Structure 1
Amino acid sequence: MTATLSPAQVRAAIQQYLLDALPNPEAARRPELALYARMLRDYPERGGKMLRGMLLVYTGLAYGAEVKQLLPVAAALELFQNWALIHDDIEDASDERRGKPALHKVYGVPLALNAGDALHAKQWALLIEAGVSQAVLLEFVRLVELTAQGQHLEMTWMEHQRFDLQEADYLEMVGQKAAYYTAVAPLRLGALAAGVEPPAVFEGAGMKLGIGFQIVDDVLNLVGDPAKYGKEIAGDLWEGKRTLILLHYLQNASADERTRAERLLCISREEKPAPEVAWLHQRLLQSGAVAYAQATAEQMLTEGLGMLEPVLRTAPKAAIGAMVLEVLQSLVRREA
C-alpha cells in the first residue's frame, strides 16, 4: 500500500481490517454463536461511507504515518461508530439503519444491546493489539465520554419534554454527541497515530465541521432520498428530536402552531398520529426552518475549512493534506 490510496481503496482497506477482527459465523462451534457472529458483522457489512476512518487515515498520512499504522486505529473508530449506532437505534426506537431494519428490530433489544457491547470490547482490543500510544487510547476515552454526555443531554430533553431550548443548547449537545467523534477525533487521532501533537486548530475547526455534518443529517432526515439516506425519513419527528430545524421553527411559529407541534412531540412514537406528523413535516419545510439550517451548515463548513486549510496545506505531505480537505468537504456537501 502507498500513500496515494484512493478513497475507495481506503474504505475497502478499513472495512477489511475491521471484518477480519470480527468472529466468522462459519467457524462457530454452535448455532447460537454463529448468530452472535452474524450480529456483530451486520452493521459493518452494511457498509457506509466510512468518512471518519478515511479522514483519520488521510490526516495520518499527511503527517508522515504509514498506512499499516493507521488501519487499526481507523478500524477501531469505525467499530465505535457501529456499536454506538446499535445503542443509539435502541435508545431512539429507530426503525432503520443503512437502508435495512435496525438490529434490534430484527433480533430484539437484549441481543442487539449485547452485540453492541461486544463491538465496544473489540474496539479496545484492536487498539491494544496494535500497540497504540497512550495518547491515542486517551483520545478514544474522550470521544466515548463526550458522545455519551451529548446523548444524555438529548435523551433527557425528550424524556422531560423540554421546549425551552435555544440554538446554543442544540449546538452544545450536538457538539458533544456527534461533532467531536465525526471530525475532531479523526483529525486528532490521525496526527497522534503519526506521533505528532495535533495542531490546536483541529478542535475548533473540527467542531464547526462536525456540527455542520449533523445539521445536514437533520436536513436530510426531512428532505433526503429514502433510497440514499438509509434511515427513516422524518424519523426525527417520530422520535421527538430537538434539532436546530425544530427549535428554529418553534421560536418563530404562531402560538397556536407551537402549541399544536409541542402537543404532538409529547406523544410517544407508537401513539403519534401519522397525519399530525405529516403536518409538522410540511410546516418545517414551508416555514424556512430547513433553509435556515442548510445555510447554517454551509457557513460552518466554510469557516471550518478556512481554519484548517493553511494548516493542512503546510503539513509534511501537503498533497495528502489537500485530500483531507476534500474528505472534509464531503462531510457537509452531500446528498445522503
Structure 2
Amino acid sequence: MTSTADHADLISEVEGHLRKVAKVVRRGMLDALPDGEPVQWLYGPMREYPSRPGKALRPALCMSASRAFGAEPDALLGVAVAIELLHNAFLVHDDVADGSEMRRGRPTLAATHGMAAALNAGDGLAIVSGQVLRRATRGLDPELADLVWHEFDTMALRTLEGQATEVGWQLDNVEDLKPQDYLELIMLKTCWYTTIHPLRVGALVGSGGKADLAPLVRFGFHFGAAFQIRDDLLNLVGDEKTYGKEILGDLYEGKRTLTLMHLLSAAEGKDRALLSDYLRRGRAERSDDLVRSVRRLMDDYGSIGFTREYAEGILLVAEEYFEQAFADARQGPDLDFLRALVPYVWARWR
C-alpha cells in the first residue's frame, strides 16, 4: 500500500512538472490573444481564464506524448496552446450553461461580466484556438497536418455531444441512468478532449504518423474516466480553496454524476421521493437545506464509497492499458511523467 509520504512525493513531483508546463502554455495563450478594442467588453474578458492558474493537464499530456514518440522538445507547443485555449473556451460556456459561480478560485466570467459578454469571450477563445492550431500545423507534412485537424475536429464534436447529452438529461429530468450511461457520457464530455485527443495528437506528430493510436484510446478513456470521477468526488468532499470550484456545485446544478446515479438506484421510500423532488427543481429552486440533505443521503446509502471503489477499478485497468499504449515509446523523463499521472489522478486534491 502506498504511504502518505509516497503520495506527497508523487503529488509534488507531478504538480511541479504541471506548473512548469502551465507557465509556458499560459504565456503562449496570452501572446496569442488580440489586445485591441474592445478591451472592456471582449479582449479583457477573454484573457481572464487563461490568466488564472490551471492544471495544464491537456498540454502536458500532448507535449510529453509527442516527445516520448520522438518529437523535438517544443515541437508541439503550438498545438498544446491551441488545445488549452479551446479548453478555456469550453470552461466559459460550461459555466454559463451550469450557472456556476466559481472557476479556479475566482468568480466566473458570467458572474462578473454577465452572460452575453461571457459567451462572446468563449467564442473568441475558440476562434483564436483555431488560429493558433493553423499556425502550428503549417510546418508539418500536409497529410500529417490534415490528420491533426481531423483529430481536433473530432475531439470538439465529441465534447459537444457529451455536453448536449448532459444538458439533455437535466432538461428532460432523466432519472433511470446506470453506470454505463455515465461512462458513455464522460467518454464524450471529458475523455476525448482531456486525455484521448492530447495523447493521440502528441503520438501522431511525434511518430510522424506511424504510431498505433488505438491503444491510446483505451488508455485515455480509462485514465480520463478516473480523472472525471475523482473530480466529481472532490466536488462532494474537497476543500473549496484547494479545489478551486464551488463545493457541492454539481448537486446545486443537478448533474447526473456516478455518485448520484448510485444514490437514485439505492434510495427507497421517502428518500427516493426527496430525490425525485430535488431533480425536478432548477438550480435556483434547490435550497441549501435540500442540497445538504441529498449530500447526507450519499453517505447514508454508501454512494461515496461505491464511487471510490468504481474509480479505483477503472484506474487499475488504466495502468494495464498504459503499457500497451506506450509500448513503442522511448524511455525517459516524459514517459516517467506520463506513467506517474495514473496514480496521481487518485492522489490529487485539486
Other-structure match for 2:223: 209
Which of 263, 274, 284 is the equivalent residue of 1:260? 274
How far did 1:103 drift? 0.6
Q: Is the 8 A contact 1:154 1:241 kept in 2?
A: yes
Equivalent-residue separation in structure 2 for 1:307 and 1:269 (angstroms): 39
Equivalent-residue separation in structure 2 for 1:121 and 1:247 (angstroms): 36
How far did 1:208 drift? 0.8
Question: Could you give the per-residue CA deviations for residues 268-320 of structure 1, whole angstroms, max 9, x where no partner exists?
Answer: 11122221111111111332111111111121112112111254264134442
Q: Calculate percent identity across the aligned residue pairs.
A: 35
How far did 1:82 drift? 0.3
Equivalent-residue separation in structure 1 for 2:82 and 2:274 (angstroms): 44
Other-structure match for 1:233: 247
Structure 2: gaps spanning 5 or more residues: 1-15
Task: Report whether the alignment pairs 1:151 with 2:136.
Answer: no
Question: Is the partner of 2:281 in helix, strand or coil?
Answer: coil
Q: Which amino acid aligns with 2:20?
A: Q
Which of 193, 198, 203 is the equivalent residue of 1:181? 193
Task: Report whether the alignment pairs 1:327 with 2:338.
Answer: no
Equivalent-residue separation in structure 2 for 1:193 and 1:330 (angstroms): 26
Which of 107, 129, 139 is the equivalent residue of 1:101? 107
Task: Report whether the alignment pairs 1:115 with 2:121.
Answer: yes
Q: Is the 8 A contact 2:199 2:216 kept in 1?
A: yes
Question: Could you give the per-residue CA deviations for residues 216-245 of structure 1, whole angstroms, max 9, x where no partner exists?
Answer: 111111101111111111111111101100
Equivalent-residue separation in structure 1 for 2:254 and 2:211 (angstroms): 37
Other-structure match for 1:44: 50
Question: Could you give the per-residue CA deviations for residues 54-99 of structure 1, whole angstroms, max 9, x where no partner exists?
Answer: 0111000101112332101111111111000101111111111111
Task: Report whether the alignment pairs 1:33 with 2:48.
Answer: no
How far did 1:100 drift? 0.9
How far did 1:21 drift? 0.6
More off after superposition, 223-232 vs 324-333: 324-333
After superposing on structure 2, the runs of 4+ consecutive aligned residues of structure 1 that deviate more than 4 Å are: none
Question: Is the partner of 2:74 in helix, strand or coil?
Answer: helix
Q: Which amino acid aligns with 1:211?
A: A
Q: Which amino acid aligns with 2:309?
A: A
How far did 1:187 drift? 0.8
Q: Which amino acid aligns with 1:169?
A: D
Other-structure match for 2:95: 89
Q: Is the 8 A contact 2:18 2:57 kept in 1?
A: no
Other-structure match for 1:276: 290
Q: Is the 8 A contact 2:216 2:325 kept in 1?
A: no
Which of 50, 58, 67 is the equivalent residue of 1:61? 67
Task: Report whether the alignment pairs 1:163 with 2:169.
Answer: no
RMSD: 1.7
Task: Report whether the alignment pairs 1:142 with 2:148.
Answer: no
Equivalent-residue separation in structure 1 for 2:26 and 2:283 (angstroms): 34
TM norm structure 1 = 0.93
Equivalent-residue separation in structure 1 for 2:179 and 2:275 (angstroms): 18
